[in-house]
Amino acid sequence: MRILVVEDDTDLNKQLNEALTEAGYVVDSAFDGEEGHFLGDTEPYDAVVLDIGLPQLDGISVLENWRRDGKAMPVLILTARDRWSDKVQGIDAGADDYVAKPFHMEEVLARLRALLRRASGHASNEIECGPIRLDARAGKVTVDGAAIKLTSHEFRLLSYMMHHKGEVISRTELTEHMYDQDFDRDSNTIEVFVGRLRKKLPEDCIKTIRGLGYKLDMA
C-alpha cells in the first residue's frame, strides 16, 4: 500500500516515513502544500497523511482541491491539539480522520489501518481469502493456520491483492502501488514476485487474466 506524507517539519516527516516504511508501506514525502498537492494529483496513493499548517499552500486548500478534482483516497490530517477549528475545517474539507499533535506514532498507524480497511470494505485488520489470512496489524500471513514467510515485497504485493480480492489488477497498478515515485519501475519485476508468491500460496489462487493482469480468488 502506497502512502503520501505531506509534513513541513523535516524531523517529523522523517519519523513518519521511517515508521510507515517499517510497517510495510511504500512512502513518498512532500514538505510543502504545492509539492504535496502535485503528488496527490498525479500519483495513485492508497492514503495520505496531511499536515494542516503547510507553507506555499495550506493543508485545507490542498485537501479541498483534491476533493474538487475527484481524488477519493483516504486522508488523515495532522492538527494542533488546541485548534479544534482545524479539525472541523479538515473534516468539512473532506478529511476522513485526524490526529492531534503531539501524537504517538502507534495511533497514526492504527488510524491509517482503519482508513485503508474502510476504503476497501473490510471491518477487521485480518483479511481472509479462502485459507489465506493476512493480519495487517501484525504483518503476518497464514495458510490453513500455518505461518508462511514472505519478503517485504511479497507481503506488499499480497496485501494489495488481499485488499482488492476478486478484482482484476493490472501489472501497472501493482507497480504503482508497490514502489515509490523515485523507483525505476519495471512491470516485469511484478511477474517475478507473483511467481514467487504463487509457490508459497495454495495452487491457482492468483489467476492470470490474459491481457489484463492478475486476480486473487479462491472460487
Element (H, E) at 48: strand 47-51
| pLDDT score for 7 | 97
Burial of 211 (0-12, 13-18, 19+ CB in 10 A): exposed
User: What structural domains does the chain harbor?
Assistant: 2-119 (3.40.50.2300), 126-216 (1.10.10.10)
At 34 the pLDDT is: 97
Given this model, what pLDDT does residue 111 score? 94
Compute how many other C-beta atoms are within 10 angstroms of the C-beta atom of residue 167. 14
Task: Answer for the pair 36, 30: CB distance below 8 angstroms, yes or no.
Answer: yes
Contact 117, 96 (CB under 8 A): no
Q: What pLDDT does 119 receive?
A: 82
- How far apart (Å, rounded) are the C-alpha atoms in residues 48 and 41? 12
> Tens-digit pLDDT profile for the chain (219 aa)?
899 999 999 999 999 999 999 998 999 999 999 999 999 999 999 999 999 999 999 999 999 999 999 999 999 999 886 777 888 888 999 999 999 999 999 999 999 999 998 887 766 778 888 899 999 878 899 999 999 999 888 898 999 999 888 999 998 888 888 776 666 556 578 888 899 999 999 988 999 999 899 999 876
Q: What is the pLDDT of residue 29?
A: 97
Q: What is the pLDDT of residue 186?
A: 60
